[in-house]
Chains A and B, each alone.
Chain A
Amino acid sequence: MVVANIIQAVNMALKQEMQRDSKVVVLGEDVGVNGGVFRATDGLYKEFPGRVFDTPLAELGIVGTSVGMAVNGLKPIAEIQFSGFMYGPFDQIFSHAARIRMRSRGRFTCPLVIRTPYGGGIRALELHGESGEAIFAHTPGLKMVVPSNPYDAKGLLASAIRDPDPVIFYEPMRIYRAIKQDIPEKEYLIPIGKANIVQEGNDLTLIAWGASLKMCKDLLEEMKGRYSVELIDLRTISPYDRETVINSVKKTGRCVIVHEAIQTCGFAAELIAAINEDAMLSLHGPVVRVTSPDVPFPLYRLENDFLPSMARIKKGIEKVMEF
């Protein structure tokens, strides 16, 4: 075991998979000599000569050429420095990466991982804080993964790299270094598509992912067992673990969903639709979602007002419990 934060866990997974499979290459802005602006790729450039590329400053080029590499025998791991820069190459992701297997009837595949830091709360510049997971979940042919802790980050990233299809890997920037955990040095995999029941409970199901998960955990600690809450870390947004969500809501009859993304068409909407379809008769009250409002992400002096807070999550829990 070794103590690691999320960024170190990402680095360990990259290193491990590059050692394991010579087809894996890493490319992106500043990922080589500099080791990445967050140090996620630290040391890889030296350890794997000719397999780690500092690219020109061009996100479309990074993703577009990664698609070409993926169809011609490599397993590229592209880093987009901040998730706010994913929209330039979105055409490449939506129109090509996600459709190659289907359009070629399986003759070509696109085993590509796009890693990108996402989320608010660190007083960053404009377009550095958004949560766009629902946009990618709304793109058929993509997988969308969001770890919330070092252990999951390592195991999920290894699975993403071994996955035969394109995976968007969202790294919660706010908690990159906030959580330290003992994690195994040797390889292990966490399957894509499986949620994690972080704590079991009977009164209420609380669902979150990424940086919001830590906030929920901290809140539950603060509330000191006032309610018996089942906390679910969704971990994979697409394809998400419907079964775990439904079974939990059937048991508790109450549900609160937290995400940093804006409300309308946020992923909570999809979860609520699934609960409506499969667990409606178990509900004691409406499902509550605690999200950001439908406005552009503000500059940082207002970001804590914009993002879900522990106080707002607590209010959401109380609303459901007191219904």
Chain B
Amino acid sequence: MAKKQEENKSDIVSVLDENGKSDEQYLSKISNDKIKEFYKAMVLIRAFDQKAFNMQRQGRIGTYISYKGQEASQAGTALALEDKDFIFPTYRDSGVLLLRKQPIVQILQYWGGDERGLKSPDSVNNFPIAIPVGTQIPHAAGAGWAATIRKSGQVAVGFFGDGATSKGDFHEGLNFASVFNAATIFLCQNNQYAISVPRAKQTKSESISKKAVAYGMEGIEVDGNDIFAVYKAVKEAADKARKGNGPTLIECYTYRISDHSTSDDASRYRSKSEVEQWEKKDPIARVEKYMQRRGIKIDKDAILEEAKAKIEKEIEAFEKISAPDPKDMFKYVFAEMTPAQNKQMKDLLGE
């Protein structure tokens, strides 16, 4: 079934596939430095993901949601955006956050049960990740709509997975964005599973990108393991939105190599051979091969070591952070604490 679906993908945006087939016309416009930057970004976020997973296993952070296999979708999107843009990420988008200047220390803080991790750096607009599925989609529509009204030149990107497209939030968000010409990109990482439920059971629609048709919106399907294709699609959609030409739905066709979360065991619902098939489409390996072909020299080991060293340094800082002050619970609920909160805080802290 999955194979048949893929055979039908004649209109999928692809720049560099797993067999080395490439769109040289597009790639020739991308500098060697840019290609190295893409590669390094993916290596960094994969190394972080692996490390965070290990830290959960060691009890150094709580539940963690891995994005292994989806590095091209996340890096390709993050690198195509500007700082002033808004992102509305899900729990599976730590890679996007990391590449959008969210300090690794803070990402670990969040997964380590410390709300301070969610605060966006001032230079970017990283909305706190959504834990309920799909609820952030209307936020992206609203923020993009505000950008249109304010003529701010920003783009809002709503991240979600294939499962979220079954929710009413998806429908209402896309419908509003289209009706009001919002400067929004709806970025679906179709990783084929919503925990255990495969994509085919979420929708009878031939693809997720095709759902855009009903909203009078452009829908694009890209090879989500092809960082160039993702980057190209997002960049074009962002340019279009900035010019006031409305929203786009982008489906990144990819695969979650990892379990759903650190509490999940994916072997209960999918075969080893299926995972192996997807490992052959690895987003990082294909860029390595391409760089070799193009004569871009890199030191693979040095790049990985550099990424690991950066992560280790941040982990060191993370582990030195003292526990949040219980007063913090009261501090940010309203602009000003209510009399009741004030009293409860004093009672709680025995003051």
Contact = CB atoms under 8 A, between A and B. Distances in A.
Interface string A87-110: 000011001100011111111110
A109 B335 contact: yes
15 contacts: A56-B179, A61-B176, A64-B142, A65-B145, A67-B138, A72-B142, A72-B154, A73-B150, A91-B135, A92-B138, A101-B333, A105-B116, A106-B119, A143-B334, A193-B339
Given A65-B138, A96-B135, A71 B333 contact: no
Interface string A108-119: 110000000000
A56 B332 contact: no
A50 B143 contact: no
A141 to B, nearest CB: 5
A68 B144 contact: yes
Given A72-B154, A72-B156, A74-B149, A91 B115 contact: no
A107 B152 CA distance: 19
Given A65-B138, A73-B146, A92-B135, A107 B119 contact: yes
B167 to A, nearest CB: 10
A254 B24 CA distance: 85
A243 interface: yes
B172 interface: yes
A55 B176 contact: yes
A107 B146 contact: no
A236 B169 CA distance: 31
Interface in A110-167: 140-141, 143, 164-165
Contacts of A74: 146, 149-150
A105 B335 CA distance: 11
A239 interface: yes
A85 interface: no
Contact of B339 (A51, A53, A242): A242
Contact of B180 (A53, A103, A193): A53
Contacts of B332: 101-102, 104-106
B348 interface: no
Contact of A71 (B122, B127, B169): B127
Q: Which interface residue of A60, A101, A193 has the most chain B CB atoms within 10 A?
A: A60
A95 B173 CA distance: 16
Q: Which interface residue of B128, B334, B338 has the most chain A CB atoms within 10 A?
A: B334
A66 interface: yes
B118 A72 contact: no
A61 B128 contact: no
B172 A58 contact: yes
Interface in B326-345: 332-335, 338-341
A72 B147 contact: yes
A142 B64 CA distance: 30
Interface in B158-173: 168-169, 172-173
A68 B138 contact: yes
A105 B119 contact: yes
B143 A68 contact: yes
B140 interface: yes
A34 B70 CA distance: 47
